[in-house]
Amino acid sequence: MSSPPCDKSFCSNYMLLNPEDAKLGDVFKILFSSDIAKRKFVDCPDGTDEPFGRRWIIFVSILAQKFLQATAKPLAAVGSGVEYWLNLLAGNGGFFGLIKNTFKGEVVQPDNTSADYFSFIGNLDRRQQLDPTISPGEKKYYAALSIMAAKASYENKTHIKSVVEDHWKMSLVDSYDFWNDYQEKATTQAFIMDDKEDTIVVAFRGTETFDADAWSSDFDLSWYEIHGIGKMHGGFMKALGLVKSQGWPQEQDPGQQETAYYAIKKQLRKLLEANEKAKFVLTGHSLGGALAVLFPAILGLHGDSFLLGRLEGIYTFGQPRVGDDKFGQYMNSLIEKHNFSCIRFVYSFDLVPRLPYDDSTLLFKHFGTCIYFNSLYTGKVVEEEPDKNYFSIIWMIPKFFNACWELIRSFIIRYVKGPDYAEGGLLRLFRVIGVMVAGVPAHCPHDYVNATRLGLSEDVFLSSNGQKILKTQ
């Protein structure tokens, strides 16, 4: 065991996985010995015993991360090629436009640093304008702004600046690539903006399709337990800014690379001290949603009542579970004490909000208010999304027929709801995949944008306000 990765005065337990230290033979040995502290790639207190179910999870987590490390460069190369091709087609008016421009010698070459260049996620839904029917002051304004900010966070810095300032007529504070102390490179992305209506928005980027580092954070099922708070997902904690051999000090040492939590906290304090009326919102899709809900947890650990008192709300989309039952209780008490909203949006059979498992092995739990939308984009407040752990035989047939309906809907929605809801060929391909693996296309930001525009009625928000604190399931 290495030196504890935390201050013992507040860190009660931990189990951090280090895939770079794992040799294949040693990884297999963990299946046959309950004393996981003997393994070089597991950082935990001496004598830590885990049952087979949890050791199996560690085994799978390490193998997944090792695979991602080995394939990171080819995966990134494939992603760059796919994005280039998609932007080449879009920039030349589609396939036939590209053929025409080729013969004319007028092919428009995409520039991956330009405002017109879309990420793979962005190519699934190229909408950039905010919902024109929603204005500041309306109950669903924060949710509608948050999903568009969460979607924009996948784009390059120039694109984000153009969307925020040219399309939304708001002010971009900055966009960032933050250091991950465990991956030893800048792998956490976020941006901060000011809506010019006294709201600061912090949007964390989710998992890019071809980003092995982000996928590694998702698959890293390390955990980290803090006195009075509970256990939290180690991969997400590392991405937010967990400091090696220190955990969560009040401030980072001046000589260290600044991580997301500390840099954002510093910037928020500066912005909010300059505007006494302003509040801030935290948002993100997928992994970004996980970072958004963990951020105030660490503020609470540090006793930062100033920032918590200025937090208007957390709005996440397709967010995975981030902690155990005790952590959920801690977060609900924090929400009640500082009176901010914590709303997670779940669309249909989206796979990600149903992971990691809420069961006796993994012990993960959701907290706060859940607004669930079915495939008709009808929203309602629920205590837990249906089929909460996803892999249920009972739900296989309903999920299959729902995926078939979503594929059919992709062809007709533009005629029913208008051209702004039209779906392109790439998203339809995802819908086909969804017939075979239900829940994959449901995770795309596209359906969450539609849900906030079509299914988020005032009645739903009135209901959510009445259930700000939900009993942890």
The residues that are catalytic are 286, 350, 443
Q: 212-219 and 52-91 are packed helices; what angle lies between their axes, rounded to 10 degrees?
A: 150
In the structure encoding, which two tokens stand for residue 359, read together?
């069961």
Angle at 364 between CA 361 and CA 370, to 5 degrees: 145
Q: Let me know: does 136 contact 199? Beta carbons within 8 Å.
A: yes
Q: What is the DSSP letter of 442?
A: G
Cα 4–chain centre separation: 28
Task: State how beta strands 230-233 and 199-204 pair.
Answer: unpaired
In the structure encoding, which two tokens stand for residue 238, read together?
């590392």
Q: What H or E segment, with its residue span, contains residue 164?
A: none
CA 38/CA 57 separation, integer angstroms: 17
Task: Please tell me the total number of residues recorded for the chain in this structure.
Answer: 473
Residue with tokens 């860190």: 11
Beta-carbon count within 10 A of 389 CB: 14
CA 377/CA 450 separation, integer angstroms: 7
In the structure encoding, which two tokens stand for residue 178, read together?
């933050």
User: What region does 47 belong to: left with phi over 0, alpha with psi -120 to 50, or beta?
Assistant: left
Query: What is the chain's alpha carbon radius of gyration, rounded to the nearest angstrom?
Result: 22
User: What region does 424 belong to: left with phi over 0, alpha with psi -120 to 50, or beta?
Assistant: beta
Q: Let me know: does 217 contact 205? Beta carbons within 8 Å.
A: no
CA 264/CA 28 separation, integer angstroms: 40
CA-closest candidate to residue 238, choices 282, 290, 305: 290
Reduce the DSSP state of residue 133 to 3 states and report it: coil
List, in sequence order, every residue forming a beta bridge with 232; answer none if it has no partner: 224, 323
Verify cis geometry, omega within 30 degrees of 0, for the bond prior to 386: no
Reduce the DSSP state of residue 217 to 3 states and report it: helix
10 Å CB burial of residue 329 (0-12, 13-18, 19+) is middle
In the structure encoding, which two tokens stand for residue 213, read together?
């580092």
Q: 393 CB contacts (<8 Å, ≥6 apart)?
A: none
In the structure encoding, which two tokens stand for residue 80, read together?
């760059």
